Amino acid sequence: MTLFAGQRETFADGLVYVPGYLAEAEQRALLRDIEAVIAAAPLFQPRMPKTGKPFSVEMTNCGPLGWISDRDGGYRYQATHPETGLPWPPIPALAIKAWNELGAYVHAPEACLVNVYGTAAHMGLHQDKDENDLRAPVVSLSLGESCVFRWGGTSRGGPTQSIVLASGDAVVLTGKARLAFHGVPRISRGTSDLLRERRINLTLRRVTAP
């Protein structure tokens, strides 16, 4: 099925795919906002718990809380940048707009993860389950180079589906898909005029239970 820009496709498990959700001008405006976030809260490289192995992506956060991971503390949310000790910058208005329009959740997001992928970066299959409020959706926005987005069920090792996410596309994990294993196996070089050789993924989450 061919989707027009902004037209939603809802899969049986509840995952919602919205190609072209952000128009080109909105993508450029959001990119400027994210560049300001990175200037205030510099990118850092999260590390796997226990082993300390670095992720292949760099990241930062905006909002009242930010997600981090390191060898000793593991996966967690905290209110300050792990290197500067400063509070995270506010979530950009366009990202809040996406949460309200796509997430349709009564409570505001508390964290917006900013993952920056080079063309060799990837993200293995994982669940977003470090939040106390699992009724809230996860809203994801893509900027820059296209990627393959893969997701499966709520147990590791089952069958998976894949879609290609281009700059401006949105995905919402809700319903059964809220705890689906998902990841990004590869980035496609030369697919974006907005941001060459990089992809930025914004992931909005509600962390605390209301």
115 Cβ contact partners less than 8 Å away, ≥ 6 residues apart: 57, 58, 59, 123, 200, 201, 203
Domain 9-205 bears CATH identifier 2.60.120.590: yes
Sort 131 into a burial class: Cβ within 10 Å, 0-12 / 13-18 / 19+.
buried
Q: What is the pLDDT of residue 99?
A: 98
160-185 average pLDDT score: 97
Q: Are 66 and 60 in contact (CB under 8 A)?
A: yes
Per-residue confidence (pLDDT) for residue 142, from 0 to 100: 98
pLDDT for the residue numbered 15: 98
pLDDT score of 1 more than 60: no
Are 142 and 170 contacting, i.e. CB atoms less than 8 angstroms apart? yes
Decide: 103 and 204 in contact? Cβ < 8 Å: yes
pLDDT in tens, 96-152: 999 999 999 999 999 999 999 999 999 999 999 999 999 999 999 999 999 999 999
- pLDDT of residue 32 exceeding 70, the answer is yes
Tens of pLDDT, residue by residue over 50-73, are 999 999 999 999 999 999 999 999
Average confidence score pLDDT of the chain: 96
Look at residue 2 in the predicted model and tell me its pLDDT: 61
User: What is the pLDDT, as a whole number, of residue 4?
Assistant: 66
Percentage with pLDDT > 90 across the chain: 95
What are the sequence ranges of the domains in the chain? 9-205
CA-based R_g, the chain, Å: 16
Q: What pLDDT, on a 0 to 100 scale, did the predictor assign at position 57?
A: 98
Alpha-carbon 199 to chain mean position? 11
pLDDT of residue 70: 96
The pLDDT assigned to 210 comes to 84
